[in-house]
Structure 1
């Protein structure tokens, strides 16, 4: 085996141009894999973050219509017990209401939240563009679009009428911008006790919201939570509510895999054809070596080692080239606000897998030339040389 390795290395060095050509072919294949894979993963991560990154990924509500959740603290404690995959959990008391501002009336969804807990889900505190968060009862945040449309500003007092005909005067302490026009126009965020008092909920809440570490495992986690809480509650997850988004993400992944597969097939065929030519070119040397006593197995290993070495060199060059392409795209392809069109997302496991596939493919591509070399008859080769 050591002899085969040394001969393979010598063959590669003796044909430097050919060796460089094969290595570059492998490198380009690996770089395309890494670039496309990194681009698709970054795009998917960005899309998921923008759509559900600052939203609850699992929601829990009472199963019966027009009923609410009692003892929410105990229920949240049972949900989070022995589930480290839950990163945030918060209770919410929601209800429709009307805001009377002069002669105008605006329909809003009043959201009573424990801001300390809910901020881990929505990031509300970082998205207050004017004023500050409510710190006491009867204070409220409104969205930027509602503020512009109604003329309501920080410090104004609002007459808020609930669907139970309860009316409260709430003071606007701040304006938020969650980046979604419909939310900025329809949400009014207040403290949990304020909303409970406005809608006459007592100490009950309308829902419990969760975020998880792995958003794509939300459906599995939701099923286990459903078993914990029983049929008294319904547990929904974002995957069931966003079928079109999931279909788009799946389509991206499939297209990425197909491109990578065909790239590697073309690389494999290229390596096999060039190494097959190498067998012919080196047939005289192989014939002499066989005449000197090396075995067919040893001659076969020469070309397998060639494929392995070419695969390793090509994979290393491909990783460097692929990462360079991904970095360049993330650096120079920018939105008008200066942020990357697709953020750079590096998955070490994916990069190593791409390199490993290239090495294996290069080695497999050398099987046919290796088999051909083992069949060479040294007497005929030397006679016809």
Structure 2
């Protein structure tokens, strides 16, 4: 195509200017790729960190409501408050039904309650979680977080967090008095001490066998909740909706209990979009200004072409092609360099903990998107110079 050849000749005629233009575009693309990979990587990191330590879907007994006859003969709903702990009595049927759903990795029945650990005069409140010892790692990888002792709950011991152990001066093998919120007391040994990295877990949560938890919490048959782990945490709302339609339980996806995280990630994403938009605007402005300057410098050549009968559309297409070439070359170079930069920061530099210095996801740099947006933006930014060049009067252009 002749217009494309002319556009390429114009660009190669002034290689320094063209090189600076392409370099500027590439630099803006690197910023775009880096910010996209960083924001998406941070979102993935926070999501994995959060979902790796919690159940993705949780089933609990529905809140019981008592209907009370009011003075105007209408029923008023009031929550029931009794000493009897709410529980799921036919929990095995619920577990079997949940296990049949796609994407479900593990279904863990739990007996939960509150209590106190007592050692001498020191008393620490705790949240008790009774689980099957064979499912110790189904929700949280506790066995990988053990720093003292073991994660084996089959012997009737207790797993506590490192911060709680420090507060009470406990270590693996030391017995401690466990007093449940039902007033039941038992001397129980500390089987292991874990460090998850979340203060609310390391200081406030204790795990024990469900068989030991039942008599302590006065729940001989039922369970207080059923936790579900999925192969894809993003599917939690969908699975929760399916379970709500099938089971008479309160079903909650992890996103509902972590609204603050979701809001923070959305705000972070919007901030990244602003930065990306500014990078694209900078690309468009630099290309438009450079091509406008080119149209002024080549007024004579444009006038000669127009005097030989070259159409305005041809002249305009030459400048649009220049913008497209600059945008395509700059975006390809910038994408390649941006990927190498993200790869280096994620693998080549380690932080104090031995992990990546920054939670960058090189594969999430939005490379196709930035190439398309840059090429389209470059073509759009070339329209103004193209129109200015096409409107030149050939006689005036040659005389100047």
TM-score bucket of the superposed structures, by smaller chain: 0.7 to 0.9
Q: Secondary structure at the match of 2:139?
A: helix
Q: Distance in 2 between matches of 1:369 and 1:117?
A: 68
1:175, distance to aligned residue in structure 2 (A)? 1.1
1:241, distance to aligned residue in structure 2 (A)? 2.8
Out of 198, 222, 228, which is 1:180 matched to?
Answer: 198
Q: Distance in 1 between matches of 2:124 and 2:393?
A: 92
Aligned to 2:72: none
Q: Secondary structure at the match of 1:122?
A: coil
Unaligned runs of 5+ in 1: none
| TM-score, normalisation: structure 2 | 0.85
- CA distance 1:212–1:370, change in 2 (3 Å): farther
Once the two structures are superposed, residues 318-372 of structure 1 have per-residue CA deviations (whole angstroms, 9 ceiling, x without a partner) of: 1133334434554687643343342221244622212221111111111122223
Query: Are the equivalent residues in 1 in contact too, given 2:133–2:153 (CA < 8 A)?
Result: no
Once the two structures are superposed, residues 64-95 of structure 1 have per-residue CA deviations (whole angstroms, 9 ceiling, x without a partner) of: 353211333431332353432x4443221112
2:210 is the counterpart of 1:210? no
- CA distance 1:171–1:332, change in 2 (3 Å): same
Query: Are the equivalent residues in 2 in contact too, given 1:137–1:193 (CA < 8 A)?
Result: no
Q: Distance in 1 between matches of 2:397 and 2:231?
A: 64
Query: Are the equivalent residues in 2 in contact too, given 1:134–1:190 (CA < 8 A)?
Result: no
Q: Secondary structure at the match of 1:55?
A: coil
Q: Secondary structure at the match of 1:204?
A: coil
Q: Point out the more displaced range, 48-57 or 247-256.
A: 48-57
Query: Are the equivalent residues in 1 in contact too, given 2:60–2:250 (CA < 8 A)?
Result: yes
| TM-score, normalisation: structure 1 | 0.88
Query: Are the equivalent residues in 2 in contact too, given 1:286–1:373 (CA < 8 A)?
Result: yes
Aligned to 1:153: 171
1:102, distance to aligned residue in structure 2 (A)? 4.3
Q: Distance in 1 between matches of 2:337 and 2:195?
A: 40
Query: Are the equivalent residues in 2 in contact too, given 1:315–1:358 (CA < 8 A)?
Result: yes
Query: Are the equivalent residues in 1 in contact too, given 2:98–2:107 (CA < 8 A)?
Result: no
Q: Secondary structure at the match of 2:112?
A: strand
1:103, distance to aligned residue in structure 2 (A)? 5.1
1:220, distance to aligned residue in structure 2 (A)? 4.9
2:152 is the counterpart of 1:134? yes
Out of 223, 246, 250, which is 2:266 matched to?
Answer: 250
- CA distance 1:118–1:225, change in 2 (3 Å): farther
- CA distance 1:259–1:104, change in 2 (3 Å): closer
Q: Secondary structure at the match of 1:307?
A: helix
Q: Distance in 2 between matches of 1:358 and 1:339?
A: 33
Q: Distance in 2 between matches of 1:368 and 1:215?
A: 48
Task: List aligned pairs for 1:1-385, cutoff 5 A.
Answer: 2-64=1-63, 66-84=85-103, 86-102=104-120, 104-117=122-135, 119-212=137-230, 215=233, 218-229=236-247, 232-327=248-343, 329-330=345-346, 335-348=351-364, 350-382=366-398, 384-385=399-400
Q: Distance in 1 between matches of 2:45 and 2:111?
A: 30
Alignment length (residue pairs): 380
Query: Are the equivalent residues in 2 in contact too, given 1:137–1:194 (CA < 8 A)?
Result: no
- CA distance 1:10–1:87, change in 2 (3 Å): farther
Q: CA RMSD, aligned part only? A: 2.7
1:128, distance to aligned residue in structure 2 (A)? 0.7
- CA distance 1:104–1:16, change in 2 (3 Å): closer
1:121, distance to aligned residue in structure 2 (A)? 2.4
Unaligned runs of 5+ in 2: 65-84
Q: Secondary structure at the match of 1:210?
A: strand
Q: Distance in 2 between matches of 1:341 and 1:91?
A: 38
Aligned to 2:73: none
1:178, distance to aligned residue in structure 2 (A)? 1.4
1:129, distance to aligned residue in structure 2 (A)? 0.8
Q: Distance in 2 between matches of 1:348 and 1:284?
A: 47
1:272, distance to aligned residue in structure 2 (A)? 1.0
Query: Are the equivalent residues in 1 in contact too, given 2:346–2:362 (CA < 8 A)?
Result: no
1:52, distance to aligned residue in structure 2 (A)? 4.0
Aligned to 2:78: none
